[in-house]
Amino acid sequence: MADSPSPLPRTQSAHFGAPSLIVKDLDLHTRGFLALIMGAIKEWNSDMPTVDRVRPPSSWGPTELQTLPFGAPNQRIKLPILDEDWSVPFLKRWKRKFGLAVLRSGYLFPVRDRAEEWKSVAVARDTFQEVLPLGAYMARPYHRWEEMSSDAAMSRLAFAGLGALRLMPYKPSVEDELTILDGAAWQHDLTFLSRYEVREGFEKYGARAIFNADQKPIAIYWCGGQGADGSERPTWVFAKNGGAEWEHAKWAWRCSLMVGSTVADHLVGVHWLIGNYVTTAARVSLPPTHYLRLLLKPFTWRTITINFGASETLCPKYGFVHRASALTYESLTQAFGDAVGLLEFHTVPELVRRKGYEPDELVEKEGVDPAETVDRFPWLADALALYKVIRAFVEDYIGQYSKDAPVEDDAAIMEFWRYLYTAPATVKFPDRSSKDALIDVLAQFIWSVTGLHEAVGTVNEYVVDPTFMGTKIRPGKQMADIQASMQYLLVMALTGLGMPRLMDVGDAAGVFDVDHRGKQAFRRFHDALQALSEQNDAANRRRMAHPTRPWPCETFNPKNLETGVSI
């Protein structure tokens, strides 16, 4: 995430003493979590992961693997433990493990969900800024949101923000009241979350938001759980725009969006499936001097450390996601396991087609006014533009080397493919029979750990206000409580550890040394990214001038991207 030279100014003069008092009154576990997070950020930044630290590969061959404790037996994810790019002295490693074990102790720190409310949004923002200042411990957001509670903000979230990945053309279901839903064109479906039990005092996740052809929300189905008056609601509540349930249904959808994106798309999809398996396949199958291993090095740097660290901090019982969400641990484990089966490999052009477009409809051509869809669905247009630049780079790079030996005749590449097939079968990596398939996998991998990771992992702009999004839904409430706010703020800080900047890689000279073919391909890639960034900037100026859809999208702008996954 891009950083800023200085934190935002605080406004304590208006709320004298409030932030410090609130921090002191946090439960002991949250304060311990805060100390651990601040220590981890300081340690990471003391060995700042800048581009000059990315060196050529050094290890090769089998490595010790850890199996994650969720999913069906044939869908278990395996993570390597040792990283050639990051080693921690034994004493530091032991102290970290001990600290995590203490914080995960259900005896010392049982899960107690406190319900104290913020006095105001201003006090919440001041507290956040005191605990983890933007520009210091947390990166500044790329987008400005005045609010997220309006219908217009809901549309922006769905077409230009965090909801865009799962937004799909509308398909009627058995619950729909078709006469009321006349004009439905789009839906954002998180109803799969409704199967997971939550702790006492909370409502279930799970919502399906429906939009018309003008991109305006018209209805939401949500899993209501228990009402504010203690009465049992029907399994599914239908909220029509303007009805009595509407504002709470929107809040339930936003909270479901945050939890679903974090658990399924971010942790399981980007980190533990495509990020993990491509990185590990390169590590165990490709010699350190192999041209594909060198290609992947900037995009896999410290990935093993990051993914293993996420498994230790975010998924265990009494861990940070368990506490920051309202899910019971059994349901959290089930959600992680189910996410493996929900996610399958497909390229960005395939994603575009699943959303009802042809890729050519979203492409900006030089000297030609862009099609309306480029600004009407900015997230998708920008995602495709980044993918096209990345795929052209991978094709160019491989073309420099495959003249010497076709990829089908390269034993190391075939071993690389064989390792990819050890991933859960539901991932459906493509057949290994062609160079195009190899280019697709590598391009989609690089796009996922750079652009998609930014899209589903950089959510600080959504958590800086407790009325924007939350990770727990309380009956009758449209604002996160103090404890929940601080818990997910800390999780977001942990997931924001910096990585090398994509635009700083240049010709990747530190990886290639005197291999001019690789360096020249990376240099051409850098130039293409620079041109794309300028195109993104121009598009956002144009989008901001739109009278009804002033929706900028910086999510896939190369100047904001990193080379690989942070937690």
- Short-list 544, 419, 531, 469, CA closest to 65: 419
Alpha helices, DSSP H, located in 87-120: 90-103
Q: Distance between CA atoms of 420 and 282, rounded to whole angstroms?
A: 9
Query: Which pLDDT score, from 0 to 100, does residue 540 have?
Result: 96
Same domain, residue pair 392 and 298: yes
Q: For residue 201, what pLDDT is reported?
A: 92
- DSSP helix/strand/coil, 489: helix
**Among candidate residues 313, 319, 323, the one with its CA nearest the CA of residue 472:** 323
Instruction: Tell me which of 223, 253, 283 is where a domain ends.
Output: 253
Q: What is the CATH number of the domain that holds 272?
A: 1.20.245.10
Number of residues written out for the chain? 567
DSSP string, 227-260: -TTSPBPPSSEEEETTSTTHHHHHHHHHHHHHHH
Residue 168 belongs to domain spanning: 147-253
CA-to-CA distance for 206 and 194, rounded, in angstroms?
Answer: 4
Q: What angle do CA 475, 480, 485 make, to 5 degrees?
A: 145
User: What is the per-residue pLDDT for 226?
Assistant: 54
Identity at 360, one-letter amino acid code:
D
Cα separations (Å) of 282 from 61, 421, 547? 9, 13, 48
Q: How many angstroms separate the CA atoms of 238 and 219, rounded? A: 7
Cβ 449 vs Cβ 564: under 8 Å: yes
Using the 3D structure, point to which of 253, 285, 304 is the last residue of a domain.
Answer: 253
Q: Please spell the DSSP secondary structure of 374-388, one letter per residue.
A: HHHSHHHHHHHHHHH
The answer to whether position 452 is within a domain reads: yes
In a domain, 110, yes or no: yes
pLDDT of residue 178: 53
Residue 5 has what pLDDT? Answer: 33
- Report d(CA 101, CA 313) in Å as an integer: 10
Look at residue 497 in the predicted model and tell me its pLDDT: 75
Place of tokens 């922006």: 156
The answer to whether residue 130 sits within a structural domain is no
**Phi-psi group of 257: left, alpha or beta (phi > 0 → left; psi -120 to 50 → alpha; rest → beta):** alpha
Q: Which of 253, 269, 300 is the last residue of a domain?
A: 253
Which has the closest alpha carbon to 29: 107, 95, 97?
A: 107
Domain identity same for 281 and 399: yes
Task: Judge whether 215 and 429 are in contact, CB under 8 Å.
Answer: no
Locate 14 and state its tokens: 């208006």
Q: Is the separation of the CB atoms in 148 and 131 below 8 Å?
A: no
Give me 350's structure tokens: 């395939």
Shared domain for 247 and 276, answered yes or no, is no
CA distance 97 to 204: 33
| C-alpha to C-alpha distance for 422 and 285, rounded to whole angstroms | 13
Print pLDDT tens along the chain (567 aa): 333 333 333 343 344 445 677 877 888 898 888 888 888 787 777 777 788 889 999 999 889 999 999 988 888 999 999 999 988 777 777 888 888 889 899 999 999 999 999 999 999 988 888 888 877 777 788 899 999 999 999 999 999 999 999 999 999 886 665 556 788 999 999 999 999 999 999 999 999 999 999 999 999 998 876 533 444 444 577 888 887 889 999 999 999 999 999 999 999 999 999 999 999 999 999 999 999 999 999 999 999 999 998 898 888 999 999 999 999 999 999 999 999 988 899 999 999 999 999 999 999 887 778 888 889 999 999 999 999 999 999 999 999 998 767 888 899 999 999 999 999 999 999 987 789 999 999 999 999 999 999 999 989 899 889 999 999 999 999 999 999 999 998 888 877 777 899 999 999 999 998 789 999 999 999 999 999 999 999 999 999 999 999 999 999 999 999 999 876
- As a whole number of angstroms, the distance between CA 8 and CA 348 comes to 36
The H or E element that residue 204 is part of is none
Let me know whether 489 and 360 are in one domain: yes
Q: For residue 345, what are its two tokens?
A: 């490999």
Total domains, the chain? 2
pTM above 0.75, yes or no: yes
In a domain, 127, yes or no: no
Which residue in the block uniquely carries the two structure tokens 């449209």?
478
Cα distance between residue 75 and residue 92, in whole Å: 33
Structure tokens at 460: 């600080």
And the tokens for 109?
């720190």
> Do 73 and 173 fall into the same domain?
no
**Neighbouring residues of 276: CB distance < 8 A, sequence distance ≥ 6:** 77, 79, 303, 307
Q: Closest by alpha carbon to 388, among 357, 344, 442, 349?
A: 349
Residue 2: the pLDDT is 39
> What's the pLDDT at 17?
46
Contact 375, 549 (CB under 8 A): yes
Query: Does residue 318 share a domain with residue 246?
Result: no
Tell me: do 179 and 294 sit in the same domain: no
CA distance 282 to 194: 38
pLDDT in tens, 207-266: 999 999 999 999 999 887 653 344 444 457 788 888 788 999 999 999 999 999 999 999
C-alpha to C-alpha distances, 187 to 141, 147, 256, 269, 347, nearest whole angstrom: 27, 22, 14, 21, 21
Residue 47 carries which side chain, given as an amino acid letter?
Answer: D
Residue 211 DSSP SS3:
strand
Q: Is residue 4 part of a domain?
A: no
Q: Tell me: the pLDDT tens digits for 374-394? A: 899 999 999 999 999 999 999
Closest CA to 127 of 262, 9, 22: 22
303 and 241 in one domain?
A: no
Tell me the sheet residues that pair with 186.
169, 211
Say yes or no: 379 and 434 in one domain: yes
Give the per-residue SS3 of 312-341. HHCCCCCCHHHHHCCECHHHHHHHHHHHHH
Contacts of 143 (CB under 8 A, 6+ apart): 161, 461, 552, 553, 554
Q: Are residues 269 and 249 part of one domain?
A: no
**3 belongs to a structural domain:** no
With beta carbons less than 8 A apart as the criterion, state whether 487 and 30 touch: yes
Report the Cα–Cα distance between both ends of the chain, in Å, rounded: 12
- For residue 47, give the nearest of 302, 308, 307, 271 by alpha carbon: 302
Element (H, E) at 79: strand 78-80
Residues 271 and 378 in one domain: yes
**Residue closest to 537 by CA, chosen among 391, 392, 364, 373:** 364
Residues 249 and 266 in one domain: no
The predicted structure's pLDDT at residue 225:
63
DSSP-derived secondary structure letter, 263: I
Give the pLDDT of residue 10: 38
In-domain check, residue 11: no
430 Cβ partners below 8 Å, 6+ apart? 345, 437, 440, 441
Helix residue ranges per DSSP H, 104-150: 121-131
Is 391 a member of any domain?
Answer: yes
- φ/ψ of residue 531, rounded to 5: -65, -40
